[in-house]
């Protein structure tokens, strides 16, 4: 019994000691955290004590160097009519400010946007930006980190609507390079300069699922740096070009195939008789109006440029084929001999005439038989009745060849030539057109293909 009691007392003692150690550790950690918070507060207060955010780092001593890189989370859409595009990015900047050096328990101070308003930050703006939005929901989407040596990392989420100059001569088999240009607004290159944080292939990165393009493929992107001059000095400008290639599928379905089918439909009239004036006229006029409608609708999605695009040339040639088919019918109709064409009434009129002649001859034969009954029959001479009965047959025999000759016109030689010439010329044009434009590859220097 004594052994059991002693073991129980020992286990209770061990549990008490463990609980005491746990409580002491929690208290010590809480005390340490309180000390760290107090230390960070003192550090921030000391950093901002006497700090003037109106002055750039290194003023009068050195050029402030700002390192930048861009991570594209969403690219698109692209507007052909307004020649602009929209991009959603994480815009990152890093620079050295010796006034913000510190020594503490941590090498990096992660801060929010409230601290960013109390220190100097670069006055970066987008040169070709039409509209830029900094996201503020639910709080301003900004990140600020201060390193122990005074290096700062400043990141913000932006949606930029920028200009994209387009040359549409090869539309819709065209390619474009949409730039994104940014730099300092007030500081010249002798005061603030920009460089890319990483190499050219990694300074501008696009997310794998970042494309929001329906009519384009994002081929890749390139980066660069240039200097611009103005009346106030020379400024450093960072450039990033996004290279796009248009998808042709939509335009094949909406424009090219209807144009080709319309041209083929216009050539069906070559196989109709030259006397089918209403049918051939309907074919010609309808196809011309259809091509006019297609040409107008194809231009609605494009800016009003002063030059012809590749689609304009295709529509113009198709329009020429359709209009030529209408002119061809007018030519055939002009050379058609109207007097030799069957009008649907000549056969009926001829039959009436034959019936009248037969009736007249039969009446004459009956009259001769009544007034000359005693005339002797001579086998060598044909009787009047026999002659009159055989005469209509001769008349019919003489009129039939003439009637058969005058019933229909033959196929026009112009139609025969057009049945072969028009399809061959249109097929040759399509081969040359598609071989010329589809084999054109855009020449892009220092291209880094997107993943």
pLDDT tens for 191-238 read 999 999 987 678 999 998 888 888 899 999 999 999 999 999 999 999
CA distance 297 to 172: 14
Instruction: Determine if residue 204 is left, alpha or beta; phi over 0 gives left, psi from -120 to 50 gives alpha, anything else beta.
Output: beta
* pLDDT attached to residue 407: 47
Provide the 10 A C-beta neighbour count for residue 431. Answer: 10
pLDDT digits (tens, 9 = 90+) for 127-179: 999 999 999 988 899 999 999 999 999 999 999 999 999 999 999 999 999 99
Question: Residues in the chain with pLDDT < 70?
Answer: 1-36, 200, 337-409, 442-451
CA distances from 83 to 107, 159, 178 (A): 46, 17, 9
Q: Are 279 and 272 in contact (CB under 8 A)?
A: yes
Supply the pLDDT for residue 433: 96
């Amino acid at each position: 019994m004594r052994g059991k009691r002693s073991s129980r007392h020992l286990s209770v003692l061990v549990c008490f000691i463990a609980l005491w150690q746990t409580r002491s550790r929690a208290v010590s950690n809480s005390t340490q955290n309180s000390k760290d918070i107090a230390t960070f507060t003192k550090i921030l207060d000391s950093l901002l004590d006497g700090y003037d955010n109106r002055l750039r780092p290194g003023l009068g001593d050195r050029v402030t160097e700002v390192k930048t890189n861009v991570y594209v989370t969403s690219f698109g859409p692209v507007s052909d009519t307004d020649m602009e595009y929209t991009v959603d990015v994480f815009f990152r900047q890093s620079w050295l400010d010796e006034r913000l050096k510190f020594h503490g328990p941590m090498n990096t101070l992660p801060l929010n946007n409230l601290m960013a308003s109390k220190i100097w930050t670069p006055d970066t703006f987008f040169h070709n930006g039409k509209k830029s939005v900094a996201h503020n929901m639910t709080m301003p989407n900004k990140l600020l980190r201060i390193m122990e040596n005074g290096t700062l990392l400043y990141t913000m989420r932006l949606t930029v609507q920028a200009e994209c100059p387009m040359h549409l001569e090869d539309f819709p088999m065209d390619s474009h390079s949409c730039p994104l240009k940014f730099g300092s607004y007030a500081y010249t290159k002798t005061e603030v300069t920009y460089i890319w944080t990483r190499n050219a292939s990694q300074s501008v990165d696009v997310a794998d699922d970042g494309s929001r393009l329906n009519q384009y493929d994002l081929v890749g992107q390139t980066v660069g740096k240039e200097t611009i001059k103005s009346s106030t000095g020379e400024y450093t400008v960072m450039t990033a070009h996004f290279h796009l290639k248009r998808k042709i599928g939509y335009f094949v379905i909406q424009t090219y195939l209807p144009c080709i089918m319309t041209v083929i439909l216009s050539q069906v009239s070559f196989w109709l008789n030259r006397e089918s004036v209403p049918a051939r006229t309907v074919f010609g006029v309808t196809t011309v109006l259809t091509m006019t409608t297609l040409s107008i609708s194809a231009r609605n999605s494009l800016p009003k440029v002063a030059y012809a695009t590749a689609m304009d040339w295709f529509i113009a040639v198709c329009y020429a084929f359709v209009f030529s088919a209408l002119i061809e019918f007018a030519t055939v109709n002009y050379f058609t001999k109207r007097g030799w064409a069957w009008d649907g009434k000549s056969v009926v009129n001829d039959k009436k005439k034959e019936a009248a002649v037969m009736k007249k001859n039969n009446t004459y034969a009956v009259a001769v038989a009544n007034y000359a009954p005693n005339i002797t029959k001579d086998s060598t001479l044909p009787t009047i009745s026999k002659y009159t009965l055989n005469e209509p047959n001769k008349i019919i025999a003489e009129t039939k060849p003439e009637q058969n000759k005058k019933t229909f016109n033959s196929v026009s030689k112009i139609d025969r030539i057009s049945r072969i010439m028009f399809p061959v010329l249109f097929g040759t044009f399509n081969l040359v057109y598609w071989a010329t434009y589809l084999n054109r590859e855009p020449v892009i220097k220092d291209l880094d293909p997107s993943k």
